[in-house]
Amino acid sequence: MTLFYSNSACSQESSAQPLVMAHYMPWYVAKPTSEVWGWHWTMNHFNPENVIDGRREIASHFHTVIGLYDSSDPSVIEYHLLLMKLAGIDGVIVDWYGLSDFRDYAVLQKNTQAIVDQVRRLGMKLIICYEDQTITALVDAGKLPAADRVSHAKRELSWLQEHWFALDCYVRIDEKPVLLSFGNAGLTNVEWSECLSEFPVPLAYFSEHTRRDAAVGGFDWPIPSEGLAAVNRFQEPARNWKHAIPVVYPRFVDIYAEAGLHASYGTIQDSEGRTLRETLRQVVTNQPSIIQIATWNDWGEGTQIEPSVEFGTRDLEIIQKFRRITFDKQFSTQPADLSLPLKLYQLRSVKKEVRSPDEQLDKIAILIAAGNIAAARERLNKISIAD
């Protein structure tokens, strides 16, 4: 088994330690970057204009440290990726809805490109998780003939191959670009086999929970009805697959019932950080080449490890410690370092309001990304709002 990834123009080979990747949602729309509050903050039920006890009313049981944000904002993406870097997370698995101009898919595509740009700039790594349920939605809406399901998927994958799979930051296994597909509401097992057998570039394809015929393995995801037992159950068949991507998560506390969408999927308690620690402990059993954290920022399902009012940076500190103790003793960042991206983001927010140039802040971001923490902290401490 060979895992290829790169920080430079040439791929590096690594079999000594796994990549830790955070599942990233690009779907948030917020004022004032956009003209409206997007569905994922409101779910057509909550009104962020209402402020209760100092917090906006949103479609989540939890609240972001930086407030409601728009996923197209480069300063937000930079803040997220730098936090990941300091927490020992190597990159993002972006939830991708394809290229169609339907529902909010075009907005998601634009936001994903902004994420890819920042991933490259900050030396992070990238994997795409294809939401192929979009194909079913397009067919149901009369936007795509049912007979074109496979050809549509092939067009989407061809675009990925041309634009993102070939990037130096894109993760490869056995020299093949890694691709995940979410759920089972899109292409069938047979359709995925047809799609990939006719695709000109071999892909390292992973299906959810189980290994489809065309997949090199499966990736896991939280199952609220089964709780932590599902993590261990995934490990059993995964031992017989060529590759597997286990899942790590801190909790599952969705807002769907309160939003009036449908019944809750169930709850996996946070248990004061024990859920995250236990899933981290379980997933290293099979020595995976990739570990997926679910999620960085799904606020609607409460699985986020992004800093929150309720948990602060606790989850990132747990991952820091896990990386250092388990497989990367040279990883040296500390909990106090996690304050730097927030300070940088706050300075960018002020300078954005006064239209001040960001050259100094750009340099600080690169210092943080490069691991030059002392120099970044020194420069941040010297900057005043008037600079």
Q: Give me 359's structure tokens.
A: 């050259």
Average confidence score pLDDT of the chain: 93
Task: Please report the pLDDT score of residue 16 as a whole number.
Answer: 65
| Longest CA–CA separation in the chain, Å | 62
- pLDDT-derived band of residue 350, with 50, 70 and 90 as boundaries? confident
Question: What pLDDT, in 10s, does the model give residues 362-376?
Answer: 999 999 999 999 999
Rounded distance between C-alpha atoms, residue 226 and residue 266, angstroms = 9
Give the contacts of 320 (CB within 8 A, at least 6 positions apart).
86, 87, 88, 331, 333, 334, 335
Nearest to 63 by CA among 293, 302, 253, 295: 302
Task: Please report the pLDDT score of residue 321 as a whole number.
Answer: 97
Contact 153, 135 (CB under 8 A): yes
Task: Please report the pLDDT score of residue 358 as a whole number.
Answer: 82
- pLDDT-derived band of residue 355, with 50, 70 and 90 as boundaries? low
Average confidence (pLDDT) over 331-344: 97
Question: What pLDDT, in 10s, does the model give residues 261-274?
Answer: 999 999 999 999 99
| DSSP-assigned states of every residue in 215-273 | -SEEE----TTTTTHHHHHHHHHHTTSSEEE-EE-S-EE--HHHHTSS----EE--GGG
Hey, what amino acid is at 238? A
Task: Please report the pLDDT score of residue 9 as a whole number.
Answer: 30
The stretches of the chain forming alpha helices (DSSP H) are 39-42, 74-87, 105-121, 133-140, 149-160, 189-197, 229-238, 256-259, 274-283, 314-326, 339-354, 359-369, 373-382
Task: Please report the pLDDT score of residue 357 as a whole number.
Answer: 59
Question: What pLDDT, in 10s, does the model give residues 42-94?
Answer: 999 999 999 999 999 999 999 999 999 999 999 999 999 999 999 999 999 99
Task: Please report the pLDDT score of residue 262 as a whole number.
Answer: 97
**What are the φ and ψ backbone dihedral angles of 256, each rounded to 5 degrees?**
-65, -40
Contact 204, 216 (CB under 8 A): yes
Rounded distance between C-alpha atoms, residue 267 and residue 23, angstroms = 19
Residues of the chain with pLDDT > 90: what percent? Answer: 89
Hey, what amino acid is at 362? D
Rounded distance between C-alpha atoms, residue 13 and residue 2, angstroms = 7
Q: What is the pTM of this model?
A: 0.94
Question: What pLDDT, in 10s, does the model give residues 1-39?
Answer: 334 333 333 333 344 699 999 999 999 999 999 999 999
Q: Give me 55's structure tokens.
A: 């917090």
Residues of the chain with pLDDT > 70: what percent? Answer: 93
Task: Please report the pLDDT score of residue 356 as a whole number.
Answer: 56
Rounded distance between C-alpha atoms, residue 217 and residue 238, angstroms = 7
Judge whether residue 330 has pLDDT over 70. yes
Rounded distance between C-alpha atoms, residue 51 and residue 53, angstroms = 7
Average confidence (pLDDT) over 280-300: 95
Question: What pLDDT, in 10s, does the model give residues 163-201?
Answer: 999 999 999 999 999 999 999 999 999 999 999 998 999
